[in-house]
Structure 1
Amino acid sequence: MIKAQTLNFLKELVDNNNREWFQANKERYDKARENLIELTTSLISKVHQIDPGVSADLDPKKSVMRIYRDIRFSNNKTPYKNNFGVSIPSHGLKLGGVEYYLQIQPGKSFIAGGYWMPEAEHLKAIRQEIDYNAADLKKIVDNPGFVKLFGEFRKQEQLKTVPRDYSADNENIELLKLKSFIVFHQLTDKEVQSATAAEDIAGLCSKIYPLNVFLKNAIG
């Protein structure tokens, strides 16, 4: 579970996003990160039982993403993220791709899954899989229980034009125009601080699992 101290650290970081404050509170950051690693260790174990593609050898320390922002090409020059991110890949040890993603942020925590902004080769393969087997994807994302947890799958960023090799009158054009193939479910501060947080989040991952299977099958 996430400790109140971890959320409090992130809350204060928002108003003190500078190196001086961060260095003065480095011990608090280290404890918050350790809290995330503890939760991630439990979560990896539980999600591995749901999705065998999640490696039992995944290092929880590497799954917890860096809090330091890359500001080289950003107008926002604050040096730190105001959240903790956890990537649990659905295949192998490389972070990103088809994954489960947990974000811890006061008032804005969530669990997500799928594939965010696939590289060109993978995007092409996923679109081809949708074109050939759209019924399989629609069975997953249009299930009432799935929609209740994650919302309307098609209402995420789409191309403004029809993707190459497909026609505007394709019955699955809304799915084919998607740029990402992700779902997410908001988590309250109370939920992430619950003693059963790892088990509850893993339960949500079990609902995401069929989508990840579809995407993994698409990209081989």
Structure 2
Amino acid sequence: MSGAFAGFGRKAIPFLKALDFHQSREWFQENRDLFESELREPLGDLVETLSERFGAAGLGLRGDRKKSLFRINRDVRFSKDKRPYTTHVSAILSPDGTKMEQGVFFFYLGLDACFAAVAWWQPEAAMLQAMRRTIETKPGEFRKLVAALKKNKLELGTQGAMKRMPRGFEHVTDPELSAAIRNRHFVVRRDIDPDSVHAPELAEALVDFAVRARPLLDWGRAIQGTLVPVSQD
């Protein structure tokens, strides 16, 4: 049954630890009910609660328990690592509710980390080029983005950044701008205390984070041409 998010189950993390130890389809099937009640159903509730709250906040992000949740089964077809399951659950909310759009909200609960992110992650080549060109040609707008995020106690991540300037941008020497142009992704992240995931207040904290990260969404949407002007009424 779906409903308002009430927190992940107290056995959520212990389940992931046990799954990591067993990595067995037989064990997983025997314990599927625990996975559903402690992890998957609460994650679905969280997504749908956030979708409603994001809509009310005008963030342009939505999702549901059918389309937004990632599978816990690993795709091992082209991997040397043949473990059948991940040790995390995750979900994404996007402008159209699918996993194919950019400018998204991402939630991840796992043994290795627990965090939320708002991101333009691995944008297609044309969009990434446009973002880089905007930084080069409209540095004032980019600095306003950085300042807005800083005011909201957030900063752009540097994960996966190129070590050298991409072709065509070698002339950009300003340290802040050149560092941004080397990014392959544009993302802000909020780490989450795993002990806090069992309470319904997690949803409120995630809404607060997404609202504070909105300048990054708006910056990317302006470049993409999908930014909806805020009504002055």
Q: CA deviation at 1:107?
A: 6.4
Which residue of 1 is the match for residue 230 of structure 2?
none
Q: TM-score, normalised by structure 1?
A: 0.88
Q: Which runs of 4+ in 1 moved over 6 A?
A: none
Identical aligned residues as a percent: 26
User: Aligned-pair distance for 1:129?
Assistant: 2.1
State the distance in 1 between where 2:33 and 2:159 align.
Answer: 39
On the 8 A contact 1:154/1:174 being kept in 2, the answer is: no
Q: Which amino acid aligns with 1:36?
A: L
**RMSD across aligned positions (CA):** 1.9
Structure 1 CA distance, aligned partners of 2:196 and 2:141?
Answer: 32
Shift in Å, 1:123: 0.9
Q: Which has the higher contact order (CA 8 A, sep 6+)?
A: 1
Distance change in 2, residues 1:154/1:22 (3 Å): closer
Q: Is residue 56 of structure 2 the alignment partner of residue 49 of structure 1?
A: yes
Partner of 1:155: 158
Structure 2 stretches of 5 or more lacking a match? 1-6, 226-233
Cα distance, 1:154 vs structure 2: 5.4
Q: Number of aligned pairs?
A: 214
Residue of structure 2 aligned with 1:213, choices 210, 215, 218: 218
CA separation in 1, counterparts of 2:99 and 2:139?
27
Alignment of 1:12-161 (within 5 A): 12-31=18-37, 32-55=39-62, 58-89=63-94, 91-96=95-100, 97-106=102-111, 108-142=113-147, 143-146=149-152, 148=153, 150-151=154-155, 153=156, 155-161=158-164
With the length of structure 2 as denominator, give the TM-score of the two structures.
Answer: 0.83
Does structure 1 conserve the Cα–Cα contact (< 8 Å) formed by 2:54 and 2:60? Answer: no
CA distance in 2, matches of 1:180, 1:191: 28
Contact 1:48 1:54 in 2 (8 A): yes
How far the C-alpha of 1:84 sits from its partner, in A, is: 0.7
In 1, the alpha carbon distance for the partners of 2:65 and 2:214 equals 20
| Matched-pair contact (CA < 8 Å) for 1:111–1:186 | yes
| Alignment check: 8 A CA contact 2:44 2:64 kept | no
Given the superposition, is the C-alpha separation of residues 80 and 134 from structure 1 closer, same or farther in structure 2, using an over 3 Å criterion? farther
User: Using the alignment, how far apart are the partners of 2:164 and 2:107 within structure 1?
Assistant: 32
